[in-house]
Structure 1
Amino acid sequence: MGWFINNVLYRTVVLGKENIPQAGPVVFAANHISFLDGPVLFAAASRPMHVLIKQEMFKGALGSFLHGIGQLPVNRSGDRKALQRAKSILDQGRSIGILPEGTRGDGAAASVSGGVAWLALNSDAIVVPVAILGTRHSGEGVNHVPRFGRRVVASFGEGLRVQRQPGESGRASMDRAAESIRAALANHVSTTAMRTGVPLPEVPLRELQNNILNSTTSRSAADHH
């Protein structure tokens, strides 16, 4: 289904496949602007993945289908059990996909959930930021179905690994890891939008430029904390 979406319904351009590790555990962390982001991410990667999807989607035939292809339901208000299942998959050297903004918005990664930081800290996984662009444009609602044939971009950025530092509390580690991941994702999304000319919905060019500067500074500060 993901292949059909990327290659028949839409013209999906996949960038940065060389940044995808071909072995070992990986967390693919993508921005979130549309209901199509998960399928686009799933189909664009060169490795199979188990995507954390809101539990409301796991109903009826669709729910059976999602379970059948190995996707993971998650309660967005907090779901330790789902994170433990995801960690078990990573411990087997496999891949997890997550949309850490938690809900559909402008996709600029102004904030991310603590779940992605917990997975990164409690596994040996590399976190690969993924920019999904074109699945929604300015003026379109979050449930809008984009016209067929639209250009969509899925861009895989340079991976990062976050680890606890000696003497650092659990909360401090989580906060630092979340900020490092958020900054890397925000920077990659903004850079990809500038590079490809496919904008984020409702985000002007000047704000993208500021995102790149602020995210680079923020990630550097978090990395050297």
Structure 2
Amino acid sequence: MSASPHAGTPRMELPSLDEVPHPRRWALYHINVYARWLIRRRFDVRLHETANIPETGPVVFASNHVGIIDGPLLAIFTPRPVHALTKSEMFEHWFLGPFLRWAGQIPLYRFGSDPAAVKLALRVLREGNAMGIYPEGTRGAGDLVRFNRGAAYFALASGAVVVPVTMLGSREPGGGISSLPHKGARIDIVYGEPFAVERVGWPRTREQVGLVSGLIQKHMQVQQDHALALTGRELPGPLPSEENND
């Protein structure tokens, strides 16, 4: 599928990102094979329809968000190295913070604008690489009803295709916000059909981003329905009512 929003404003080039260092990539190439082996000692992780992943060019992997291990699963198991936007609080941990930076993940401040995170993500895409994002913003039911505009913005700004990702089994029904699946649990990661977006130069309008975001949301919901039918699974449902999303 594709979206070609009409641009009523003149196209301009992206501002220079030459001063923005590309996130580290060594670990994503050389450590993931061992991380996959370790995770598969505990969980039965299955990948589906990886042929939908473009072998080259910029990609925005847009995933639903149901469990605490969604981020590591996306970064470790996706066949292409993924630099995922990750909440900045996780980088404050004495061990986890340095590890995430070493693994090429991008810290994101979620409660306001974060130009540094945006520039890092755009640098990744401009170099023809892949980034990951969770349009729902927080963990929850994973049904894509709540949907932020970040995926649309990055696709429009870079011309990257959006590949939907459906995570199933990373949180069990009734599980809390930080719960892990039981040992031996099956986790399915389904890569949906790419959604092509024509690049729109600066300045972009809120209307353009909103239009494309709505189209991506609908596409991801269709692909999620396909993933549920393909795997014979269901989403875990909402978090327990006493818990707040983070």
Task: Give yes or no for the alignment of 1:10 onto 2:6.
Answer: no
Task: Give yes or no for the alignment of 1:151 onto 2:183.
Answer: no
Residues in 1 aligned to 2:71 and 2:111: alpha-carbon distance in whole angstroms: 19
Residues in 1 aligned to 2:185 and 2:52: alpha-carbon distance in whole angstroms: 25
Task: Choose which of 52, 73, 80 in structure 2 pairs with 1:40.
Answer: 73
Shift of 1:139: 1.1
Residues in 1 aligned to 2:38 and 2:190: alpha-carbon distance in whole angstroms: 16
Residues in 1 aligned to 2:59 and 2:204: alpha-carbon distance in whole angstroms: 25
TM-score by length of 1: 0.84
Contact kept, 8 Å, 1:25 with 1:93, in 2: the verdict is yes
Residues in 2 aligned to 1:34 and 1:27: alpha-carbon distance in whole angstroms: 20
Letter in 1 for 2:68: F
Which stretch has the larger CA shift, 111-120 or 124-133?
111-120
Superposed, which structure 2 residues align to 1:165-184 within 5 Å? 170-184=205-219
- The secondary structure found in structure 2 opposite 1:148 is coil
The aligned counterpart of 1:25 is: 58
Shift of 1:89: 0.9
Letter in 2 for 1:87: L
Shift of 1:195: 2.2
Contact kept, 8 Å, 1:5 with 1:39, in 2: the verdict is no
Task: Give yes or no for the alignment of 1:71 onto 2:105.
Answer: yes
Letter in 2 for 1:142: I
Residues in 1 aligned to 2:107 and 2:232: alpha-carbon distance in whole angstroms: 34
Task: Choose which of 195, 220, 228 in structure 2 pairs with 1:193.
Answer: 228
Indicate how the Cα distance of structure 1 residues 176 and 5 shifts in structure 2: closer, same or farther if over 3 A, else same. Answer: farther
Task: Give yes or no for the alignment of 1:93 onto 2:116.
Answer: no
Residues in 1 aligned to 2:146 and 2:214: alpha-carbon distance in whole angstroms: 8
The aligned counterpart of 2:175 is: 140
Contact kept, 8 Å, 1:164 with 1:173, in 2: the verdict is no
Shift of 1:81: 2.2
TM-score by length of 2: 0.77
Larger relative contact order (Cα-Cα within 8 Å, sequence gap ≥ 6): 2
- The secondary structure found in structure 2 opposite 1:96 is strand
Indicate how the Cα distance of structure 1 residues 187 and 64 shifts in structure 2: closer, same or farther if over 3 A, else same. Answer: same
The aligned counterpart of 2:115 is: 80
Contact kept, 8 Å, 2:159 with 2:200, in 1: the verdict is no
Q: How many pairs align?
A: 202
The aligned counterpart of 1:49 is: 82
- The secondary structure found in structure 2 opposite 1:60 is coil
Compare the two structures and name the one with the higher helix fraction: 1
Indicate how the Cα distance of structure 1 residues 135 and 141 shifts in structure 2: closer, same or farther if over 3 A, else same. Answer: same
Unaligned runs of 5+ in 2: 1-31, 239-246
Residues in 2 aligned to 1:71 and 1:201: alpha-carbon distance in whole angstroms: 26
Unaligned runs of 5+ in 1: 204-225
Task: Choose which of 61, 66, 79 in structure 1 pairs with 2:95.
Answer: 61
Letter in 2 for 1:126: V
Q: CA RMSD in A?
A: 1.9
Q: Which has the larger radius of gyration?
A: 2
- The runs of 4+ residues in structure 1 deviating greater than 4 Å are none
